[in-house]
C-alpha cells in the first residue's frame, strides 16, 4: 500500500526587495502557532520556505536566491515597546546548512520594513499622512535597537516608484531614508578598547584591524596588508576575484574567526561556524579608479575610499546595510583604519566605492568621557514589493 502524504500548507507572505537584498516577509500572527515562537519549528519552517539546506547551492525548491543577499526571512509584529510601531526580527538563512543565524540585523531589508508594516496595518492609521513621509519607528529585535524609516506616502499609500538610483539595484525606485539610532548602544563600540588592534592570525599574518560594534560587529582591515598565497589586494576587487578563489575564502573566514574571538563574540574558534552572520570582515583602501560589476566607471575623485565586505563567507555584490552603518561610524572617528583610508581627520560622512558602485553614508558621533558614542547613522535605500500572496510548504516539514 502506497504511503499517503499530507498536502502543502499555505501561509500569507510578501516577497520584498529592500536595498540590495530581498527576502520573504511574514506577519507574526500569520505563521502557524508553533512557529510564532522561537525554536526548531520556526527554523524548520523558514528553512523550507527558502529551500535550505541545498547541496546544489541553487535554491531551486524554495524562495531563496542562493546568495547571502537573497536568503533572508523577516518576521514583523506590532510593537509593545514604548515609542515604537513595529518589531522587526531578521533571520539569515544558510544556503547549504540547516541553520538560521538570528544574531544580527539586515540593514538593507530594514528599508522594506516600514512599507510592509504600513501595508499590513501594523502602523496606526493616524501616524500615516495623506502625503509626505510616514516615520515608522522600528524596534530591531535581534540587536535591540531603534531604527527610523522615512517611508514616502502618496494619497495615503506607500510610494514605491521613483527616480532614486541605488547602485547594486537595477531599476530606480522611491528613496527611503533610514536612521539607525544609537547603533552601538551601551558600553564601548570598540570591544577591545582600541581604535586599532594588531590582529594575529596564525599561518596568515598580522593585521592592523579596527573591530567595531555599530550596526553589526565588523572587522576592518587594510587591503594592502592582505597578502596570501602570493595574492595581494587593493580594495577594487569584484566578486569573481574572491568568490572563485577557495583559498581566499578560507583565509577570510579564518581572519573572521580570530577576529570574533578577539572581539569576545565567541569563546572558541569552533563557535565561529555557528555564527556565520556576525561578525563581518571587510577591507578598505584609499580611493582608486575601477569599473563596477555593471560596467560603470568609478573615479577616485568621486569617492573617499574603497570598501569590500564579505557576508556568509562570500564577497558581497554591493554592501550590507549594517556594514554600511559600521563604515559610517568608523569613518567619523579619527584614527580608525576606515577613517585613515578616507584621508583621516574629522568628518560627518563618506562616499565609499563597493563592487556595484558607490554609496554615501553619514554618522553623528562624539567623544564623551574618553569613549566614542554613535548617536545616529543615516543612509538612503529603496524598497519594493515583488510579490504578495501565500507561500506554500509541505505540511510534514
> Within this chain, do residues 263 and 232 fall inside the same structural domain, yes or no?
yes
Residue 216 has pLDDT above 80, yes or no: yes
Residue 1 has pLDDT above 70, yes or no: no
> Within this chain, do residues 67 and 202 fall inside the same structural domain, yes or no?
no
pLDDT of residue 49: 98
> Within this chain, do residues 136 and 233 fall inside the same structural domain, yes or no?
no
CA atoms lying within 13 Å on the CB side of residue 277: 25
Contacts of 115 (CB under 8 A, 6+ apart): 16, 151, 158, 160, 176, 383, 385
> Within this chain, do residues 345 and 259 fall inside the same structural domain, yes or no?
yes
pLDDT of residue 396: 76
pLDDT digit string, tens, across residues 45-73 = 999 999 999 999 999 999 999 999 999 99
pLDDT of residue 258: 97
What's the mean pLDDT in 313-318? Answer: 95
- Domain range spanning residue 308? 197-376
pLDDT of residue 397: 66
Residue 322 has pLDDT above 60, yes or no: yes
> Within this chain, do residues 131 and 264 fall inside the same structural domain, yes or no?
no
> Within this chain, do residues 315 and 389 fall inside the same structural domain, yes or no?
no
How far apart (Å, rounded) are the C-alpha atoms in residues 255 and 100? 22
pLDDT of residue 276: 87
Q: Is residue 15 part of a domain?
A: yes
How far apart (Å, rounded) are the C-alpha atoms in residues 185 and 71? 28
Q: Is residue 192 part of a domain?
A: no
β-sheet bridge partners, residue 349: 362
Residue 165's CB is within 10 A of a number of other CB atoms, namely 13
Q: What is the DSSP letter of 246?
A: H
What are the Cα distances from residue 385, in Å, to 45, 77, 109, 179?
22, 18, 12, 21
pTM to 2 decimals? Answer: 0.89
How far apart (Å, rounded) are the C-alpha atoms in residues 152 and 109? 16
> Within this chain, do residues 99 and 221 fall inside the same structural domain, yes or no?
no
Q: Is residue 190 part of a domain?
A: no
Residue 165 has pLDDT above 80, yes or no: yes
Q: Is residue 36 part of a domain?
A: yes
Q: Is residue 142 part of a domain?
A: yes
> Within this chain, do residues 324 and 389 fall inside the same structural domain, yes or no?
no
Torsion of CA 93, 327, 356, 240, to 10 degrees: -60
pLDDT digit string, tens, across residues 366-394 = 998 889 999 999 999 999 999 999 999 99
How far apart (Å, rounded) are the C-alpha atoms in residues 326 and 280? 10
Average predicted confidence (pLDDT) for the chain:
96
Which residues are the active-site residues? 106, 320
How far apart (Å, rounded) are the C-alpha atoms in residues 212 and 253? 17
pLDDT digit string, tens, across residues 254-304 = 999 999 999 999 999 999 988 988 999 999 999 999 999 999 999 999 999
pLDDT digit string, tens, across residues 190-203 = 999 999 999 999 99
The domain that holds 250 is classified in CATH as 3.10.310.10
pLDDT of residue 188: 82
> Within this chain, do residues 169 and 264 fall inside the same structural domain, yes or no?
no
Structural domain count of the chain: 2
How far apart (Å, rounded) are the C-alpha atoms in residues 236 and 230? 17
Instruction: Give the pLDDT band of residue 2 (cuts 50, 70, 90).
Output: low
Instruction: Give the pLDDT band of residue 3 (cuts 50, 70, 90).
Output: confident
Q: Is residue 277 part of a domain?
A: yes
CA 246 to chain centre: 23
Q: Is residue 276 part of a domain?
A: yes
What's the mean pLDDT in 80-99? Answer: 96
pLDDT of residue 242: 96
> Within this chain, do residues 133 and 221 fall inside the same structural domain, yes or no?
no
> Within this chain, do residues 300 and 347 fall inside the same structural domain, yes or no?
yes
> Within this chain, do residues 316 and 354 fall inside the same structural domain, yes or no?
yes
Q: Is residue 292 part of a domain?
A: yes
How far apart (Å, rounded) are the C-alpha atoms in residues 307 and 206? 20
pLDDT digit string, tens, across residues 223-235 = 999 998 889 999 9
Amino acid at each position: 500500500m502506497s504511503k499517503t502524504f499530507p498536502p502543502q500548507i499555505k501561509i500569507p507572505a510578501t516577497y520584498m526587495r529592500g536595498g540590495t537584498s530581498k527576502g520573504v516577509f511574514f506577519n507574526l500572527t500569520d505563521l502557524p502557532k508553533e512557529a510564532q515562537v522561537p525554536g526548531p519549528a520556526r527554523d524548520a519552517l523558514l528553512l523550507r520556505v527558502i529551500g535550505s539546506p541545498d547541496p546544489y547551492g541553487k535554491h531551486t525548491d524554495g524562495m531563496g536566491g542562493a546568495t547571502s543577499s537573497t536568503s533572508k526571512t523577516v518576521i514583523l509584529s506590532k510593537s509593545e515597546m514604548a515609542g515604537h510601531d513595529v518589531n522587526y526580527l531578521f533571520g539569515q538563512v544558510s544556503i547549504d546548512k540547516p541553520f538560521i543565524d538570528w544574531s544580527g540585523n539586515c540593514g538593507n531589508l530594514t528599508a522594506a520594513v516600514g512599507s510592509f508594516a504600513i501595508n499590513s496595518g501594523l502602523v496606526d492609521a493616524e501616524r500615516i499622512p495623506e502625503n509626505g513621509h510616514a516615520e515608522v519607528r522600528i524596534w530591531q529585535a535581534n540587536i535591540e535597537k531603534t531604527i527610523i524609516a522615512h517611508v514616502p506616502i502618496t494619497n495615503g499609500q506607500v510610494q514605491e516608484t521613483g527616480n532614486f538610483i541605488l547602485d547594486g539595484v537595477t531599476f530606480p525606485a522611491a528613496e527611503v531614508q533610514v536612521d539607525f539610532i544609537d547603533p552601538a548602544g551601551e558600553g564601548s563600540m570598540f570591544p577591545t578598547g582600541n581604535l586599532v588592534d594588531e590582529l594575529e592570525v596564525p599561518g596568515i599574518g598580522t593585521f592592523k584591524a579596527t573591530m567595531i560594534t555599530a550596526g553589526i560587529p565588523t572587522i576592518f582591515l587594510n587591503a594592502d596588508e592582505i597578502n596570501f598565497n602570493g595574492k595581494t589586494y587593493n580594495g577594487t576587487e569584484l566578486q569573481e576575484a574572491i568568490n572563485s578563489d577557495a583559498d581566499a575564502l578560507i583565509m577570510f573566514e579564518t581572519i573572521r574567526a580570530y577576529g570574533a574571538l578577539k572581539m569576545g563574540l565567541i569563546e572558541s574558534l569552533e563557535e565561529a561556524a555557528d555564527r556565520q552572520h556576525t561578525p563581518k570582515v571587510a577591507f578598505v583602501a584609499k580611493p582608486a579608479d575601477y569599473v563596477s560589476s555593471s560596467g560603470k566607471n568609478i573615479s577616485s575623485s568621486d569617492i573617499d575610499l574603497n570598501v569590500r565586505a564579505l557576508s556568509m563567507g562570500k564577497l558581497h555584490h554591493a554592501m550590507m546595510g549594517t556594514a554600511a552603518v559600521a563604515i559610517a561610524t568608523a569613518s567619523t572617528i579619527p584614527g580608525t583604519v576606515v577613517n585613515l583610508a578616507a584621508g583621516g581627520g574629522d568628518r560627518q560622512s563618506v562616499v565609499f566605492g563597493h563592487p556595484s558602485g558607490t554609496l554615501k553614508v553619514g554618522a553623528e558621533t562624539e567623544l564623551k568621557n574618553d569613549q566614542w558614542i554613535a548617536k545616529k547613522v543615516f543612509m538612503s535605500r529603496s524598497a519594493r514589493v515583488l510579490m504578495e500572496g501565500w507561500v506554500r510548504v509541505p505540511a510534514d516539514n
